[in-house]
Structure 1
Amino acid sequence: MQEFYKKALLALIVLLVADALLAVVLVYLTFPTQTLLPAHPDRARWHFGTYSDVATGGVSTVRLHDASRDRLRFDFKLRDVAAYPFAAADMVLGTDKGRQIHEDWSKFRTVTFVAKCAPATSLMFEVSTFDEDISKPGQFETYRPPRTYFSCNEQGMPVTLDLSRLLVPEWWFPAMKEDLARQGYKLNKVAKIMFGTSTATPRNVDSYVEISELTLHGRDYRYLAALVAIVLGGWIAFGVWFFLAHSRALLASVESKLKTNLPLVAYRQLTLEPYKDKEKASVLRYIASAYTDPKLDMEAVVEGTGANRYKINEVLKSELGMTFTSYLNKLRLSEASRLLTEKSSAAISEIAYLVGYANVPYFNKLFKEEFGCTPKSFRMLASQQQAQPTDSPPSEPPA
């Protein structure tokens, strides 16, 4: 059994380590991130640009101050000439050769960045998403433009925006002849993002906006569900293996213990080899015939055999290497193991009484110490053993 427990402990440690490594990987995949600024050199390239109300008759100005991989900064001044003064900078996804591409952001839920501006104001964040029903590649005015607003100041404010709660502006629907009820949008084909002014942005003031640490954050709980399923499956498999392997190891241990105990049963020994020492034989025969008596003790053996206590102890020590109490328990428990196997309908308490134990809990305790399992488990293991083919020789009949 010790060898089995060592293997079980090793398997448990391996399972715990594997679960820990799997948890690290799947939890990481559950919360994916993608850094947009600073731009990763291996990902799609950002093409920076500007946009203003000049297209609608305004004279507002906007200029990229510093377009790099690290941040987006643009200077602007809104003029009260157009009906809706506007200035913005955008980041268009494309290849090194300038070909426009789309990225799938559907696994991301939020976008975070640090927004710095002077003077402090409210700004607009917009995502251009390709709609297969109405959008034309490269014509951004046909893309759905869900947007939201955020605040910024000269010190720089950390901003977190929920990508699932953006709103498409109402003016876009009549412009595209779309039903106003179709407010939904998808982030599976994102073409560009834009940062621009709002109606709260001051007019006729030299201003600037700087965006940095632009990062997408996602939540994909399918990986957590997979983690729970895999971990649960692993522990169930471990439990099944432990139960089956423990049963096999316990059965082998019981068989070994039974084989060890058989030569110690006096009434079987005496049928094979008679003792020349009559007094010695008398002691062993008496114990073998009276061990089922709950009141049997050393004094009863002395009275029943006529031998003194010293002689009885000498016999048991020299012949069996055991004390009187140990040998008596060994006889009783060996007989109990036989009865548990042969009398499947007998109650545990009945068998305890038959072998000389008036106290059933005490019998259960001694039996478990001897065989490594309870009498009930022993009976179950014995029935399993009988159901399997065996090459063991038949046991000798009792005297």
Structure 2
Amino acid sequence: MNISVKVQGAEAAAEIAATPLAELNPAKVSRFYDDTIWPVFERLRREDPVHFTPESEFGPYWSITKWNDIMAVDTDHEAFSSADGITLVNLEAMAEQIKVMGERRRGGAGFITMDEPDHGPARKAVSPTLAPANLQIMAPMVRERAGEILDSLPIGKEFDWVDLVSKELTAMTLATLFDFPFEQRRKLPWWSDMVMNMPGHGPVESWEQKAAAMFECFGAFTELWNQRVNAPPGNDLISMMAHNPATRNMSVETYQGNVILLIVGGNDTTRNTISSSVYSLNKNPDQYAKLRANPDLVLPMVSETIRWQTPLAHMARTATRDVELGGKTIKKGDKVAMWYISGNRDEDMVERPNEFIIDRERPRQHMSFGFGIHRCVGNRVAEMQLTIIWEEILKRFPEIKVVGEPVLNWSAFVHGFESLPVIIPART
């Protein structure tokens, strides 16, 4: 880490320590962008693990920062509903978006924002495509494509790992899962970025451009639906929804919501963990040496990166009734943010949580995929891609060298990388 980054971190830690607890806003986006969030969550876990922020750009909300409390909220879908959204929403930005796009054309609620009894059948409609048996069939294709991506990379010349590797592999896999036109695959991560960013961040230049991108996305997927619903059942996500009784007659808005969920969910976790794994191993050269010496550590390294990185920093719920948690009363209608990024660093649950250790005893002990009925439906797809890409990297490159600090996402939800400059000095 360079000196300016260290100074910035020290200044942020001092500011956070001096801020009155009642004024602490854990979702302040600039801290995620600057990577100075960690002292916020360390303080909250220590002093106020069920914390209320009365005023913020997201409105009032509760922050849940300890593992067991997060688990309690995540597994109680009766008391904590997903129906009002699963993220903290910038209220001013939402008003601007509605003004430009209208309420209906933003896309409706996918199955992640459904409660039971509607959630289960809708989720099951897409589950076969993401099941281990289907992934086993897909794996050789993913491996071949990963090899092609890695073999095309320049040697001895700086390039952006996010663009040439992380985005490309996830685009290829998403295109396969949707049976989306392969030559247009890069539209999928681009649409994901357009959905998740506000103007001035990522590729989004204006609300009008964002609206146009979403209309293009919805138009393309409406065309795919019309093709699949009138064709024999296939094994792709669109065909699964078109032919399943639970989803065949869903509204246009619900279909659009499912499309956005599957695009964003299929993009962000994998893409940001691919990027983070390279960055984390560079920042911990002893762990990189351990991995090179023992390629069997790829799978635990992937799990440790998913914990360490936490690709989605939080999930939100809305209380359906008054609930007692951690000695506090969360009132009916209150918004609650479960900070997975904090739970993954909970000292009471994870030994040496601030250290990146690729051979932990229980590498899968993390909360990045969530719990309960909304546990990430594509977690095995993510792990498959990440494992394959690293198995192929280790066959080809003695080292991937990070040559500058990454640019991070401007988001308190997607915790990831806009760019990561690297050089590959040589091939094996």
Give the structure, 1 or 2, with the largest relative contact order (CA under 8 Å, sep 6 or more): 2
Name the structure where helix makes up a greater proportion of residues.
2
The TM-score normalised by the length of structure 2 is 0.21
Higher Rg: 1
Structure with bigger strand share is: 1
